[in-house]
Copies of this chain bind each other. A is one copy, B any other.
Amino acid sequence: MHKEHTLTKNQQIIFDLINKSSEPMKAYSILFNVQKKGIKAPLQVYRALDKLVKIGKIHKIESRNAFIACHNSSCQVANATAFSICEICEKVTEISSASLSKYLANFKDKDGMKYSKYNLEFFGLCKKCDTK
């Protein structure tokens, strides 16, 4: 469960935009889309993104430098993320699999070390693209 955070104006504007988007959004595309709402500079966007990532409302898709809203309601999810990415249409879906997250949360390396966070990105073809 998320601790509830009250978003500031900029954070809310940017979260709403990302949340409505059907695909990951890049920072400068976000900037372009919120300029009419008075957010004019990259840094205003990046600061809001940083915060939203930190509190788990959005995630960064590292391989794409893009951001999507978290739709995983069972969250501890800022720290434990998994995505599938279609290499043709670039559709990204957050994976919520109890067995996967359990496996990864408990994974120990050779030295017996556990980790506090992970991010996993799967690549392949989505159903649509696979059947073309």
Residues of A that sit less than 8 Å from B by CB = 62-63, 84, 93, 95, 97, 100, 103-104, 107, 109-111, 113-127
Contact = CB atoms under 8 A, between A and B. Distances in A.
Contacts of A110: 97
B121 A119 contact: yes
A117 B109 contact: no
B84 A115 contact: yes
Contacts of A125: 116
Contacts of A109: 84, 93, 95, 97, 122
Contact of A123 (B63, B95, B117): B117
B84 A119 contact: no
A97 to B, nearest CB: 7
B124 A115 contact: yes
A93 B109 CA distance: 10
A84 B107 CA distance: 11
